[in-house]
Amino acid sequence: MGFRIGVADVRLTYHLRPMYTRISTGPSRSALTAIPIFSDAPALPARHARAPGAAEAMRTFKGEVGETVTLGHMMMVGAGRRADLTLATVRTLGARLVRALDRVGATAVRLESAASLAQGRDRRFEAGQAFGEAIAIANWRMDAFDGTATKREPRRPRLSVDADDREFADGMARGLSIGASVNEARRIAATPPNVCTPDWVAAQCRALARAYGMRCSVIPYAKAKALGMGGLTAVGRGSAHKPCLVLLEHRPRSISRPARGRHLVLVGKTITYDTGGYSLKVNNGMKGMKYDKCGGAAVIGAMHAIASLRLPLHVTALLPAAENMVSDDSYRPDDIITMHNGVTVEVTNTDAEGRLVLADALSWACRELEPTAIVDMATLTGGVVTALGKFSAGYFCVDDGLRERVEEAARATGEKVWQLPLWPEHREYMRAQHADIINSNPSREAHPIQGAAFLAYFVDAGVPWAHVDIAGVSSSETPSDLCVPGPTGWGVRLLTSIAERMA
């Protein structure tokens, strides 16, 4: 679609198109019928083959994944080769379908032959869930900051989705809900740093807690200083927007039998802006650093999901929130700071700030929360972007049980992780001359591992812990199957799935 400004025809790119305000499940009499069609036999099911125009519409249709063709009140959606069907196919298909529905102005859709998208009878729920997640994620765009210069068609008020298979439809409802949590993370991530300050993050968490029956409390700057959180306070003190540690606790009345005595702690790096500090980011390397809070945003999104799904498990989220700025009160390279657990750190680079704020949160969690597992998520290193790009997150975990859960969750959600090593020699590599450890080795060797090795000094031995470096996957400037350019909400589904596996 296009509209005119002066003489030029301005074509809106597809990602600027408004889509649906609300997506819900349920039947509707006016529903358009969507039919998955495999490329092995790219033909309409017999019951539809004689519809007027069918032969014409199907002439060029190949059934490739996500390809769509509309015929009256029907929309055919390509599903690729039947033998190649995976959950990834189902996600692509869901994402393409919702865009196509928006294009034709549909307000309701019913998926026929939904069970054909599952790899077997007992997999219909998970196929439905993947489908629902994709629909919700593909539907999202950020328009909260549209001003008077943006002329768009209004969003379509609602889309209702249904499927002809009960299990699939139930999974779809769960997927739509989890997708909404992913989008909540993206909304926070996309909020600009002049609005999204540490206090703003705290306010968002308070509102979330109120809406979903969680407990929220905030350790403000002064209290953090008093508690000896030398990392969080050093990183955040140069900003007019002072740092804080936000706690969000989901403690449901009913705890499942396997979850009794378990306490999962999620920690998210929440740097609302990373200028690098005095080790300033140069050559516009700062641009996009509003996304340095994506670890925290993913944790908030996961808490949104965990609470709205009422997972029967005790989960606490910690968000060390700070803005890494330059001022006459900022911390500097060569400072030596004492962290919450008494470890002293010689600051070699103020741009390695994420590990400093995470360290205090990890140490505080170990001392105060009796965690039985900790997972932290952080946009920690450029090195992990170089190594793994946007294909997967890098992760570290030396506990077999937790590693198994993380990898299962990654397989189930499609949020891929790749393990990197964390050995005693990596920890030794972080030793300092005039303090216990340095925050970054001046040699850039093994960069993502340095971050993990640093953090390892702040987790008590015996507490299963995983560190997930999402610097590459948390945002993208190019569109993907599921996401428009911008924040991806990566990690919400992974963390939620990890929690599900413990409940």
Interface with ligand BES includes 126 (CB under 6 A)? no
376 lies in the site for Zn ion, by CB under 5 A: no
* Using rule CB under 5 A, residue 323 touches Mn ion: no
Asked if residue 346 binds ligand BES (CB under 6 A), the reply is: no
383 binds ligand BES (CB under 6 A): yes
Among candidates 24, 131, 33, which has minimal Cα distance to 79? 131
Residue facing Mn ion at closest CB distance:
351
Out of 133, 167, 274, 346, name the contact with Mn ion by CB under 5 A: 274
Q: What is the DSSP letter of 431?
A: B
Annotated catalytic residue 103: no
- β strands within 126-274, DSSP E: 156-163, 215-219, 244-250, 264-268, 270-274
Q: What is the distance between the alpha carbons of residues 33 and 74, in angstroms, rounded to a whole number?
A: 5
Return the residues of window 338-357 that contact Zn ion according to CB under 5 A: 354
Site string for ligand BES, 255-274 (x = CB under 6 A): -------------------x
Q: Which does 381 bind (CB under 5 to 8 A by kind): ligand BES, Mn ion, Zn ion, none?
A: ligand BES
Query: Rounded to whole angstroms, how far apart are CA atoms 324 and 225?
Result: 17
From CA 401, how far away is CA 420, in angstroms rounded? 17
With respect to Mn ion, which residue has the nearer C-beta, 179 or 296? 296
- What is each CA distance from 177 to 70, 208, 224, 493, in whole angstroms? 28, 15, 35, 11
To the query of whether residue 281 is one of the catalytic residues in this protein, the response is yes
Binding residue for ligand BES, selected from 382, 432, 480, 500, defined by CB under 6 A? 382
- Give me the DSSP letters along 78-122: E---GGG--HHHHHHHHHHHHHHHHHHT-SEEEETTGGGGSSSGG
Question: Minimum Å distance from CB 349 to Mn ion?
Answer: 8
Told to check if 469 binds Mn ion by CB under 5 A, we report no
Interface with Zn ion includes 165 (CB under 5 A)?
no
Query: Please, which of residues 424-443 interact with ligand BES by CB under 6 A?
Result: 440
Residues 6+ apart with CB under 8 A from 400: none
Q: In this chain, which of 23, 77, 385, 430 binds ligand BES, going by CB under 6 A?
A: 385
If you count DSSP H runs as helices and E runs as strands, how many of each does the chain have, helices first? 15, 22
**Which residue among the candidates 281, 310, 390, 416 is catalytic per the annotation?**
281
Cβ-based nearer residue to ligand BES, 63 or 296: 296
**Gap between the Cα atoms of 328 and 426, Å rounded:** 34
The verdict on 308 binding ligand BES (CB under 6 A) reads no
Q: Among 184, 323, 351, 360, which residue sits at the site for Mn ion (rule: CB under 5 A)?
A: 351
CB 321: neighbour CB atoms within 10 A? Answer: 30
Q: Which residues bind Mn ion (CB under 5 A)?
A: 274, 351, 353
Q: Which residues bind Zn ion (CB under 5 A)?
A: 271, 274, 292, 354
Among all residues, which ones are annotated catalytic? 281, 355
Q: Which residues bind ligand BES (CB under 6 A)?
A: 274, 292, 349, 351-354, 379, 381-383, 385, 440, 447, 471
